[in-house]
Amino acid sequence: MNTTSTRVAIITGGSRGIGRRTAERLAADGFAVVVNYARNEAEAKEAVDAITAAGGRAISVRADVADEAAMGALFDAAEEAFGGVDVVVNAAGQMSLSPLVDLDLEVFDRMFRTNVRGTFVVNQQAARRVRGGGAIINFSTSVLGLLLPGYTGYAATKGAVEAVTRILAREMRGRDVSVNAVAPGPTATALFFEGKDEETVARFAAQPPLERLGTPDDIAEVVAFLAGPGHWVNGQVIRANGGLA
């Protein structure tokens, strides 16, 4: 159990989109935050600067989620900077859309490497290092319930994420660490808007009973709940999608 006053969170994919908003939200809740990024150092710096300007504590660390040595170094950096790790949010991911029959297998392999191997590697480090009372939070997708054509490869990778999440929650017995996943529906991020025309976006926005797209803030609120002191939700996939299937 962490007996220090400051809790520490690592957010992979924390430099943009849902990951960045989650980093800012957890920092506002008093977490010291480690913003992990893959390539864009400038975006990561912006995220850290925004957190520190608001009075929070944050550092950025570049590392490939699918590289076990790099992930080990990321956790080392968090422990060196802030004394330990209490929450790990694995928000890094790739999405490429295509009917199964047309999907380039090299594209599928890249998605699989980030979304499945990356989740496995991040969770492996988290399972070894997260302190008692902590949380591991993965990202799935509500597409698994919606069964949308064109999402076959992406949904397949996220089905693996859900399996890892549910089983790891049971493997962590006795550690006082919860393991859950958040499965957003259509959310207004650059990743979602890429390749979609206005008509397609409007159609997605009209589908939920709440009749809008989700926002990164909506998803960050769910992550903050799972990362917080209410520790009884465990081994679950929370479908944060405004009422879709």
For the annotated catalytic residues, the residue numbers are 154
Question: What's the burial of 53, exposed, middle or buried (CB within 10 Å: 0-12/13-18/19+)?
Answer: exposed
Enclosing H/E stretch for 106: helix 105-112
In the block, which residue shows the tokens 């864009």? 40
Distance spanning both ends of the chain, measured CA to CA: 37
Enclosing H/E stretch for 171: helix 152-171
Comparing C-alpha atoms, which of 234, 216, 202 is closest to residue 91?
Answer: 216
Query: How far, CA to CA in Å, does 125 sit from each of 85, 97, 120, 198?
Result: 10, 30, 9, 41
